[in-house]
Amino acid sequence: MNSEVKQTQPSIQRAFASRYAMNMFFTILILFILSYVGSRMFTHMDLNLYGYMVGTLVFLFGLFYRFLSWSERPPAKLMIQKGKKLVFRKRTAQTTTNDIGLQRFIWNRGLYRWFQHMMMGWGVIISCFVTFPLVFGWMYFTMDDNGFYTVVFMGLNLLTISADGFLAFLFYNSLNITAIMVITGASMAIYRRLKNMQARAEQTVIFDFMPLYMLLFVSITGLLLTVSNVFFHGFLQPELSLVHQFSVIVTLIYLPFGKLAHIPMRPLGIYVKNYREHYAKESMKKCKVCNNEFVSTEQSNDVISVLNQNEIQFKKEEGFHLAELCLPCRRNYRISKFSGVKTHLTKAKEANQDARG
C-alpha cells in the first residue's frame, strides 16, 4: 500500500521525508539565493542581525508546519482548492482592502477595538516588512561623503536621500513608530481585557495575555535602545541590544504556535469570503424546517461531503441532514432530542450574532 502511494507522488517529492520537509527545503533555498543576490554575494550581511535571522528561520519553520497541518484537514483542503480558483475575482482586491487593510470586520465590534487592532496589527506587519529585508541582506544603506544615503535593495541602488531629509527620518525611525503603534494597541487590548467583564470571563493568562506582554516587551526594549543612543550616548546599549534581540527571537519562535498566528494566517480569510460570496450568487440553500435561505447550496453540499469523508453521519430519520438546517433550527432540533418536544418546528426570533458590543 505504501509503495503504491509513493508511486503516485511526483518524483521530486519522493526525495524528501515529507511534503513539509520538501517545502521547507525550497523555502530555505529561495531565501539563501535571495540573500546571496541581495547582499551582493554576502558582502553586506550585518553580523549583529544573525540572531534575528535564526529566529526568523525558526518562525518560518513553525508557520509552515502550522499551515500544512491545518491545510491537510478535509475542510481546509477543500476551501483552499476552491479558493485558488476564485482568487482572481474582481472583488478580491476590494475584499483584501476591507478585510486586511482596513479590517472592517473589526469595525462592527466598535471603534475602540478597531483602533486597537489597527495599531497592533499594522505595527507588527510594518515591523516585519522593515526588519526581514535587513535581516536577510536584501536592503541596506551606504553613505557618501556628501551627506547622502544610497538605499540598496536586492543589490540595486534604489534611491539616494539626504541624511537630514524627511525620508531619512522615516527610515531611521520606522521601527520606533511601529513600536509606539504596537504599545498603543497592546495596552488598549490589555485594558479592555481587564475591565470588560465578558472578556475577563473568557480570557486566560497564557493564551490571551502573554502574547500582549511579549509584544510590549519587544516594543519597549526597542524604544529603550533609541533612548540610550540619542539621550545617553549609548549607555547600556550592548546589554539592551541583547535583551531586545532575545525578546524578538522568543516572540518569533512563539508566534506560529500561539494566538498571534492569526496575523500571518489572516490573508486566508479572503479565500473563505470569496467562496461564500461566489457560490451564494449561484444558488442558496433553504432550511428544511423553516424554509429560510441560510447558506449557499455549494457550501451545504461540501459540508455533507466532508462529513462523509470522515465517516460522520448526520442523516436523520426525519429525512434531512443536519447540514441542511439553519443554525437556529439545528439548535432547536438538538434540544428536541433531549426534551422530547419538537422545538425545531417552533419558529423563534434569533438574536443578531454580529451586533456591536
160 and 243 assigned to the same domain:
yes
State how many domains the chain has. Answer: 2
Q: What is the pLDDT of residue 145?
A: 73
- 297 assigned to some structural domain: yes
- 3 assigned to some structural domain: no
pLDDT, the chain, mean: 82
3-state secondary structure the chain: CHHHHHHHCCCCHHHCCCHHHHHHHHHHHHHHHHHHHHCCCCCCCCHHHHHHHHHHHHHHHHHHHHHHHHHCCHHHHHHHHHHHHCCCCCHHHHHHHHHHHCCHHHHCCCHHHHHHHHHHHHHHHHHHHHHHHHHCCCEEEEECCCCEEEEEECCEEEEEEECCCHHHHHHHHHHHHHHHHHHHHHHHHHHHHHHCHHHHHHCCHHHHHHHHHHHHHHHHHHHHHHHHHHHCCCCCHHHHHHHHHHHHHHHHHHHHHCHHHHHHHHHHHHHHHHHHHHHHHHCEEECCCCCCEEEEHHHHHHHHHHHHHCCCCCECCCCCEHHHCCHHHHHHHHHHHHHCCCHHHCCCCCCCCCCCC
Per residue in 266-276, pLDDT tens? 888 888 888 88
Asked if the model's pLDDT at residue 291 lies above 60, the reply is yes
Per residue in 244-260, pLDDT tens? 999 999 999 888 888 88
Where residue 118 falls among pLDDT bands split at 50, 70, 90? very high
Q: What is the pLDDT of residue 9?
A: 55
Where residue 340 falls among pLDDT bands split at 50, 70, 90? low
Asked if the model's pLDDT at residue 1 lies above 70, the reply is no
119 and 257 assigned to the same domain:
yes
236 and 330 assigned to the same domain:
no
CATH classification at residue 78 = 1.20.950
224 and 119 assigned to the same domain:
yes
Per residue in 16-49, pLDDT tens? 777 777 878 888 888 888 888 888 888 887 777 8
Once rounded to an integer, what is the mean pLDDT over residues 311-325?
74
212 and 133 assigned to the same domain:
yes
64 and 88 assigned to the same domain:
yes
Residue-number span of the structural domain to which 289 is assigned: 283-345
